[in-house]
A and B are shown apart, each in its own frame.
Chain A
Amino acid sequence: MGEPGTKEPLSLEELEASSNLRTGRKHVLSILVENKSGVLTRIAGLFARRGFNIDTLTVGPTEDEQISRVTLTVDGALHPIDQVTKQLHKLINVLKIRDLEPADTVARELALFKVAADGVQRGELMQIAEIFRGKVVDVTKRAVIIEVTGTTDKIEAFENMVRPFGLIEMMRTGEIAISRGRSET
């Protein structure tokens, strides 16, 4: 042992690399950007040239008209999220990035399903929609359009349920997400 006040020698063996390279889960990145022309192209271009895949992407205004919010989901099993966010931070128009913790986040997606439905099937389809708290927004002789809001899992579950009826078209917005509690996302 050294004299009092002498620093302990630090052993190199105990040093560990902060290597959170692959987290193995889906990440929702909430990104505030300056509302300037070309911002989305810069983000999309960055992902393309670094070989990162975007699973979903939504863009919209915020309460401040100078600032837009981009919400995108990335697969942390395929990409080093740390590197993705650091590269995003280098874009001058990117103001803030949050990698949202799933437990502290409310995430929602809107989907529209156009399903084949003649008279016989329609009742059953309506029941399923109700269970999922979906809304029928259009009915014609041969098809109905159902609106569903929820998490990605719920929408995928609904898709599996209605597919056997004859899924003509499906449209999904991609997730938006907001942090729980009083603090800002």
Chain B
Amino acid sequence: MRAVDALMECLKAEGVDVVFGLPGGANLPTYDAFVDGGIRHILVRHEAGGGHAAEGYAKATGKVGVAFATSGPGATNLMTPITDAMMDSVPVVFITGQVRTELLGTDGFQEADTIGITMPVVKHSFMIQHPQELPRAIHEAFHIARTGRPGPVLVDIPQDLSRAEIDYEPVSDVRLPGYQPRLEGNQKQIRQAAKALAAAQRPVIYAGGGVVNANASEELTEFVRSDRFPVTCTLMGLGAYPAPDQQWLGMLGMHGTRAANYAMDEADLICAVGARFDDRITGKLSEFAPRAKFIHIDVDPAEISKNVPAHIPIVGDAKHVLAKLIVEYRAIGADPARLEAWWSRIDGWRQKYPLAYEDSADAEIKPQYMVQALFEATGGEAIITSDVGQHQMWAAQYYDFPEPRRWVNSGGLGTMGFGLPAAMGAAVGCPDRLVCCIAGDGSVQMNAQELATCAQNNIPIKVFIMNNGYLGMVRQWQELFWDGRYSHVDMGEFPDFVKLAEAYGVTGMRLEDKRTLVDDMKRAIAIDGPVLVDVRVTREENTYPMIPAGQAAREMVG
């Protein structure tokens, strides 16, 4: 059979039920194979939309997402999703077409050095040099994408090789002698961690996206509740611990709660699980958690002691390590009473500094209220995707996620235009769930073309645009740190989102009245098929609280 027919067999063997992509010259053979290949393919309108859809699918389902693109501009359009998947450790396999081998290196039509361009932002990549290599490369790509610290893997296939005949035999093993992720965790180190936790007077558990990736939510919850440990999650970790809860401090970091950030600041022991001490968490590194010792659990050894030196490093995935840590910790029988003073301190912060905003007295919709209204309209049951900016932070603050994989956003790379296609991918992967996108009016325009994909395939996402007519987060920074000199942040009243929706064959709505907002949102959700809702919110509202960039947690404002 042709190499591309074998590719379809490999995808089926990997359990792939849907892929996102866009054909072109260099992947014509692949698209010919789709005709009889038995794989559901969703035709997107831009390769970036397809890449983010594959990410959304992967984040919501925990399975490997797949995106296809042709050579040259098709592949370069995937750069943002690939980088995004790298930064947020999302398992996606990208399969690109390449010019015929005889044209490689000649600047042929639609030739780009896809392997070279993507090398810094992939977990690994394969350039197919012989058609017979293809099946093994595909299986190895899936294996690398989903195991260890997940990430993007790219397979680049020259056109002539993709149509060549090969002897296909199913591949049942992978041969990757240089790739053996350590999952288990060193038992001695885990015992040390348990002892340190038992000795701590002011411990904090700091959990990140690694807990979600390892499907370790239950273990995290059990571990936190094995004592009265305070727990906080990063933006990527939201949902890893069920919110709200007595032991839950809220999100930490630049726009996290004061309780979470102050607890980190005063902690004597911080137990990081699947988190990487990003600058949005630490602020000024030299003043970060100055009194704390650190236990650092991560499946990626390179994360440990990268930014903050660990006192008890544990290489392993959150699921395995936490399960063992629970056993070790219980065996010690620590006295929860030692944490009384710590909790009264934390509760003091909680009471004094709850998440709050000044609500409007009239019909005006405050952006924070918009998120609360959506929480109410969805019963807190939706998968929420978001773009990047103020709306993302408000969504993270005001929508409580009771379980993992409910919150799908672009954390590390901060990609505007992520939310809508990611919602599309999440909805395709989870057809029985309500999927809502909280979008910014700036962000949504960066991948609005995928509304056509949603309309054509009846993918019933509900997109709620938090429309303030500004690139809001940039405006906020210009207001606070650049003397209010607004420079190119005003988006005006363009476009008319209701008409845009209708042009794409999607239901469009505009909501401007707070008093009916919850009911109006319920109405939008009840509509069959995709809906785009233009919610007009207060124009100049700031996201608070906030640790100004490069400052310490103590310096929180707002």
Contact = CB atoms under 8 A, between A and B. Distances in A.
Given A92-B144, A92-B176, A17 B310 contact: yes
Given A9-B198, A91-B178, A95-B178, A18 B305 contact: yes
Given A17-B305, A17-B310, A9 B195 contact: yes
A9 B116 CA distance: 53
22 contacts: A7-B195, A9-B198, A9-B199, A10-B195, A10-B198, A11-B199, A12-B200, A12-B269, A17-B294, A17-B309, A17-B311, A18-B305, A33-B178, A37-B129, A45-B119, A45-B120, A82-B305, A83-B305, A87-B302, A90-B302, A92-B176, A95-B178
Given A12-B196, A34-B178, A19 B127 contact: no
A37 B120 CA distance: 16
A12 B18 CA distance: 51
Contact of B119 (A12, A41, A94): A41
A12 B268 contact: yes
Nearest to B144: A92
A37 B293 contact: no
Contacts of B332: 7
A93 B127 CA distance: 13
B363 to A, nearest CB: 51
Interface in B298-321: 300-302, 305-306, 309-313
Given A9-B198, A18-B313, A38-B119, 15 more contacts: A7-B195, A10-B199, A12-B200, A15-B312, A33-B178, A34-B178, A37-B127, A42-B119, A82-B305, A83-B306, A89-B301, A92-B124, A92-B176, A92-B178, A94-B178
Nearest to B332: A7
Contacts, number: 74
Contacts of B178: 33-34, 91-95
How big is chain A's contact interface, by range?
20 to 34
A92 B148 CA distance: 12
A21 interface: yes
A15 B268 CA distance: 11
A86 interface: yes
Contacts of A49: 120
A33 B177 CA distance: 10
Contacts of B129: 37
Interface string A1-38: 00000010111100111110100000000000110011
- Greatest chain A CB density within 10 A among B144, B195, B294, B332 is at B195
B77 interface: no
A49 B302 CA distance: 15
B12 to A, nearest CB: 25
B302 A15 contact: no
A17 B195 CA distance: 16
